[in-house]
Chain A
Amino acid sequence: MPNNTRFILGKGISAAILCLTMIFFSNVAMAQMPVLKGIGGDFTLNSSRGVEVSLSDYQDKVVMLFFGYTNCPTTIAHISQMVKRLTPEQRERVQVLFISIDTDYDTPEHLNKYLSYFDPSFIGLVDEKEKIDHVAKLYHAEYSKLANEKVTTEFKKLSVGSEEQEQEGYLYSHSAKIFVIDTKSRVRGFFYVGTPIDDMKDQVISLL
């Protein structure tokens, strides 16, 4: 075998080993976000864009989905800080979906104005309560309206049972999870407001 061929062959083998190593390590990274069974699924809701939106519309993107309401800006502010750190190309492949549980107040128009302020690419979803409830059930994301009563130093269990109390309050209790959904619409994990922005960024990039 001429020396030259041996050299090329050697190079090829080391390149193959390098590739395999990279695949192995990228799989290790992926393994940190396993596909979660029994949670999630497709849905269709009215959106801040004025048209109905389905999760399956974003099959080529990594979706960060969360339940909230516009009186609680912390989650959206945290996500928008993370999205700002992505490159324009990465941003193209990420979609933020904000499902409003405040169906009394958050209209598609209001959501549009609200979300555009944080990032014009973010989409808000709001619909009849029954439809929101259905999606919340798919994602095991509980929420409830809190009674408008003050609590002192010890937190009392707030009763939200009675109709009257439900109408008084404007504060909600809701799932704090940010669902991370891969390009095949599968739930891969959760972020929280406490998840460091760099960790969120790395994990989202690993799914792109």
Chain B
Amino acid sequence: MKMSRLMSGLLLGASLIFATPAFAADVTAEGAWSRAMPPSARVLPVYVTLRNSSAEDVSLVSVSSTYGQAELHETVMENDMMKMLAINAIVVGSNKQVQLAPMSLHVMITNLALDVPSKGSTLPITLTFDNGETISLDVKVTSQP
């Protein structure tokens, strides 16, 4: 009797622990990768898919990394011209997902403070959203996703 009460208590506790992030996190990040760059590179691009499961739009407003200063960029094509622009925020609509990818939205780490990470390693970043959520990720460094 005692034992089963203890067990159910444990199970309830465990389910609460595992369930908590699902309730708390409106935004999730998946499939983060950074293009493996030559040791002499001065920028590191990072790509990730963001999903917003909340009823409100959420914006990615800043990114930090020990590797350098992270900016939000968008590559746009206009009349056969390719432009990379710095942007203020990346909006993820309610129940939508946004894929950061080459030739599109991306995070660009500049002013590198550490050596360019080698292929197969990871680089840590923290994403901050305007709803106060933060997501820390170890981004896979690879030549292709």
Contacts and interface: CB of A to CB of B under 8 A. Distances in A.
A173 B41 contact: no
Contact of B88 (A152, A170, A193): A152
Interface in A21-71: 70-71
Interface stretch (A5-13, A112-120, A126-134): A112-120
A121 to B, nearest CB: 15
Instruction: Report the contact-size class of chain A (Cβ under 8 Å from the partner).
Output: 35 or more
Contacts of B113: none
Interface string B68-92: 0000000111001111111111010
7 closest pairs, A vs B, by CB?
A117-B38, A176-B82, A173-B83, A113-B40, A74-B102, A150-B86, A114-B38
Contact of A175 (B42, B75, B82, B102): B82
Interface string B17-42: 00000000000000000010111111
Contact of A155 (B35, B45, B76, B110): B76
B43 interface: yes
Given A158-B85, A171-B83, 11 more contacts: A72-B82, A73-B37, A75-B82, A113-B40, A149-B86, A150-B86, A153-B91, A173-B82, A174-B82, A176-B82, A193-B82
A102 to B, nearest CB: 10
Contacts of B102: 74, 77, 193
B45 A73 contact: yes
Contacts of B15: none
B112 to A, nearest CB: 12
15 contacts: A71-B42, A72-B82, A73-B35, A73-B37, A74-B103, A77-B143, A117-B38, A117-B40, A148-B86, A151-B86, A172-B83, A172-B84, A174-B82, A175-B80, A177-B80
A70 B42 contact: yes
A161 to B, nearest CB: 16
Contacts of A81: 144
A194 interface: yes
